[in-house]
Chain A
Amino acid sequence: MNSELASARRIIRLGFALTAIALIAVAGVYVRALMYTPIEVRQGAAQKIFYVHAPAAWAALMAFSVVGIVSALYLWLKDPRLDLFAASSAEVGLAFSVVMLTTGPIWGKPVWGTWWTWDARLTLTLMIFLLFLGYLTLRAALSDPSERARFSAVVGILGLVLVPFIHLSVYLFRTLHPAPILLKPSKPSLPDSMLATLLYALATFTLLYIGFVTTRYGLARAVAAQSGREGTDA
């Protein structure tokens, strides 16, 4: 049991180290975005919110996919560490979702004149937030560890399969968001300096996600190690 706790400690330390590096990189992104990236002429300074909003959305979606995939792995392999990892990704994903859901409307208001539109992307961000919330609330409401792991795994899997359907149904309904500017086959519509800032931000937030999840996972392992030793539930 002691070695289990020792592993957990190592993971936590690694997690904090990665998080620290990522936070410093985030500061770098801030400097670059705010001072060294040009202001977009038509949208004004508010357009720069894009550099924190889009990577947060990317990280939230990544976190969500991880929850779904690792949940499926858990139901297949039954390793409780997979469950702990999925739960960690969900909590981290919730944090990124909060950033995504707050910066989205703050960007929308000055640029499109409205706080909220029920278009494909914003609706998806709201649904992902609700799914994370539901997942974590369900976990909190179940005391039996086996039930907690199995039930939340089911929610994770169902949630991941749901995402394309939500996107499709809302997209079919209507779209207000600008067309994806990175995925055009020829040249992206963003000028190079803005593209570089965006990519730098994406990489940084990905690292932050990895740092957060590692730390949270280490914490979960430590809790499990402790309760294992004492023979009680954490």
Chain B
Amino acid sequence: MASWIRLAWLIAAKDLRVELRSKTALLSSLVFAALVLVVFNFARDASLVSSTVLAPSVLWITIAFAAVIALNRAFNLERENASMSGLLLAPISRGVIYVGKFLANLAFVAAVELVTLPLFVLFFNVDIWDSLGGLLGVMALASIGFVAVGTIFSAMVVKTRFAELMLPVLLLPFMVPPLIGAVQVTTRLLSGRPLSEMLGWLRLLAVYDVVFVTLCVMVFPALVDE
């Protein structure tokens, strides 16, 4: 049991090391996140719309877009290095390869989120200390959901000519349930609502994650094997 986890980590670590050397995916997402936050800050009229109402949506729009950028770049790196074919020759279960890719992408997206959060606190003047644990939790739950599907799709679109365009088109419907749930939970967290009001949404996010990670592990072999 432990050996496949180790294998997945190895695969993930390799991807992360490659990315850390070039840093392009991470940097583009971060710049994008900062840009979106700045624009939103100037776009709203502070007297009309309070930041507590707007903030959760802005946070999650930023995360969503930055995640798509990160996902796109991650697999382009793959194509440029053609390392997937090497991986496939090794006697590793396809599911393990998927989990490795998924973990690497999750790490990218998590890095983007962890930098977006302080920027968000800074620009929107929101107090997140009391709800920090919950915020990190819902960020993890939602991210797992769309990174799972995003990993599958980025593996597909990398074979097409319009990869950067195709990924958002395919992924958008799949981001809807995690995003709705995430915004709902974030709103309640920031307003200090009790946990009972969020349980339904958290359950939805959790079920979504379990279902789609399982499904993606099952269909990944169809992507790479004839």
Q: Could you say which of A133, A150, A157, A159 contacts B223, with CB atoms under 8 Å apart? A: A150
Q: Which residues of B contact A150 (CB under 8 A)?
A: 222-223
A37 vs B166: C-alpha distance when bound (angstroms)? 45
Pair B223/A169 contact, Cβ less than 8 Å: no
Pair A141/B223 contact, Cβ less than 8 Å: no
A134 vs B208: C-alpha distance when bound (angstroms)? 21
Q: Which residues of B contact A50 (CB under 8 A)?
A: none
**A172 close to chain B: CB less than 8 A:** yes
Q: Which residues of B contact A127 (CB under 8 A)?
A: 173, 176
- Nearest neighbor of B170 in chain A, beta-carbon distance: A134
Q: What 1/0 flags go to A121-155 for Cβ under 8 Å of B?
A: 00100010011011001100110001100110111
**B18 close to chain A: CB less than 8 A:** no
A168-B170 contact, Cβ under 8 Å, with A154-B219, A154-B223 = no
Pair A169/B177 contact, Cβ less than 8 Å: yes
**A170 close to chain B: CB less than 8 A:** yes
Pair A137/B177 contact, Cβ less than 8 Å: no
Pair A154/B152 contact, Cβ less than 8 Å: yes
Pair B152/A158 contact, Cβ less than 8 Å: yes
Q: How far is the CB of B188 from chain A (nearest CB, A)?
A: 13
Residue count of chain A within 8 Å CB distance of chain B: 30
Q: Could you say which of A141, A157, A159, A173 contacts B161, with CB atoms under 8 Å apart? A: A141
- Nearest neighbor of A126 in chain B, beta-carbon distance: B173
Pair B215/A147 contact, Cβ less than 8 Å: no
A130 vs B174: C-alpha distance when bound (angstroms)? 11
Number of chain B interface residues as a range: 20 to 34
Q: How far is the CB of A83 from chain B (nearest CB, A)?
A: 12
- Nearest neighbor of B145 in chain A, beta-carbon distance: A165
Pair A169/B166 contact, Cβ less than 8 Å: no
**B162 close to chain A: CB less than 8 A:** yes
A170 vs B160: C-alpha distance when bound (angstroms)? 32
Q: Which residues of A contact B222 (CB under 8 A)?
A: 75, 150, 153-154
Pair A130/B169 contact, Cβ less than 8 Å: yes
- Nearest neighbor of B201 in chain A, beta-carbon distance: A172
A172-B200 contact, Cβ under 8 Å, with A141-B161, A158-B174 = yes
Q: Which residues of B contact A134 (CB under 8 A)?
A: 166, 169-170, 173
Pair B219/A130 contact, Cβ less than 8 Å: no
Q: How far is the CB of B196 from chain A (nearest CB, A)?
A: 15
Pair A142/B160 contact, Cβ less than 8 Å: yes
Pair B211/A168 contact, Cβ less than 8 Å: no
Q: How far is the CB of A67 from chain B (nearest CB, A)?
A: 14
Which residues between 146 and 196 of chain B lie within 8 Å of chain A, taking CB atoms? 149, 152, 156-157, 159-162, 166, 169-170, 172-174, 176-177, 180-181, 184
Which residues between 115 and 163 of chain B lie within 8 Å of chain A, taking CB atoms? 149, 152, 156-157, 159-162
**A166 close to chain B: CB less than 8 A:** yes
A159-B176 contact, Cβ under 8 Å, with A141-B160, A141-B161, A154-B219 = no
- Nearest neighbor of A167 in chain B, beta-carbon distance: B177
Q: How far is the CB of B113 from chain A (nearest CB, A)?
A: 21
Pair A169/B173 contact, Cβ less than 8 Å: no
**B204 close to chain A: CB less than 8 A:** yes
Q: Which residues of A contact B208 (CB under 8 A)?
A: 165
Leading 3 A-B pairs by shortest Cβ distance: A141-B160, A169-B177, A165-B177
What would 17 A/B residue contacts be, using CB atoms closer than 8 Å?
A130-B173, A134-B170, A138-B166, A141-B161, A155-B156, A155-B170, A158-B149, A158-B215, A165-B204, A165-B211, A166-B173, A166-B177, A169-B181, A172-B200, A172-B201, A172-B204, A173-B180
11 more contacts with CB within 8 A, not counting A151-B156, A173-B180, are: A134-B173, A138-B156, A138-B157, A142-B159, A142-B160, A150-B222, A155-B156, A155-B170, A162-B177, A165-B204, A165-B208
